[in-house]
């Protein structure tokens, strides 16, 4: 996934300002595709220059008024094109796994504490995802967009469940 496509998706869901997009990324997209405020604003400028989005006309001109963006037909077409394009899975690059492999060579000092820290982080993220699921996907919410969004959330739940179980098993394996 790329940042421009994430922004196009977010703007198609709801026209927004750069600040609103940043907040929305922190609450949804950021769980699987993070971006800083600066990256979002830079990409908004590129998307506007490329004719994929535009600034909505302000009801009243005012200095310092925030710009709100919407997707133009070319932006929708680009997002549809990108969505339909095949892409291979990315190879995993996880520093924790590399650190474990390195610990096998140089010793395990500090590894158990780091594994416990990661376990805590993954347990908290899993709890957050389950709360979102409970809040946003009650029984009966079953439109195609709901099912697709829920599938993304379930992927996060499944990944966090994997990490929690793997970390617990790895910590148990490190005990003498």
Query: What is the tens place of the pLDDT at every residue in 112-130?
Result: 999 999 999 999 999 999 9
CA distance linking residue 63 with residue 74, whole number of Å: 29
Mean pLDDT of 1-6: 85
Percentage of the chain modeled with pLDDT above 90: 74
Query: With 70 as the cut, is the pLDDT of residue 20 above it?
Result: yes
Burial state string for 24-51 with b = 16 or more CB within 10 A and e = fewer than 16: bbeebbebeeebeeeebeebbeebbeee
140 dihedral zone (left: phi>0; alpha: psi -120 to 50; beta)? left
Mean pLDDT of 23-36: 84
The values of phi and psi at residue 16, to 5°, are -150, 160
Residue 1 has pLDDT above 80, yes or no: no
Query: What's the pLDDT band for 62 if we cut at 50, 70, 90?
Result: low
On whether the pTM is more than 0.85, the answer is no
Task: Give the mean model confidence (pLDDT) for residues 152-158.
Answer: 96
When pLDDT is averaged across residues 4-25 and rounded to a whole number, the result is 92
**At residue 64, does pLDDT exceed 70?**
no
15, with CB counted inside 10 A (0-12, 13-18, 19+), is middle
Residue-averaged pLDDT of the chain: 92
């Amino acid at each position: 996934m790329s940042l421009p496509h994430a922004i196009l998706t977010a703007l198609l869901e709801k026209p927004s300002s750069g600040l609103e997009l940043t907040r929305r990324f922190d609450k949804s997209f950021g769980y699987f595709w993070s971006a800083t405020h600066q990256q979002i604003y830079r990409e908004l400028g590129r998307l506007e220059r490329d004719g994929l989005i535009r600034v909505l006309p302000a009801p009243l001109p005012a200095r310092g008024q925030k710009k709100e963006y919407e997707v133009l037909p070319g932006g929708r077409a680009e997002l549809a094109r990108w969505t339909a394009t095949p892409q291979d899975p990315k190879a995993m690059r996880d520093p924790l796994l590399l650190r474990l492999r390195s610990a096998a060579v140089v010793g395990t000092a500090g590894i158990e504490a780091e594994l416990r820290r990661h376990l805590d982080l993954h347990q908290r993220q899993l709890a957050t995802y389950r709360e979102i699921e409970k809040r946003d996907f009650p029984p009966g919410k079953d439109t195609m967009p709901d099912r697709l969004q829920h599938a993304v959330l379930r992927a996060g739940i499944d990944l966090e469940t994997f990490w929690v179980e793997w970390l617990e098993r790895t910590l148990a394996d490190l005990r003498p």
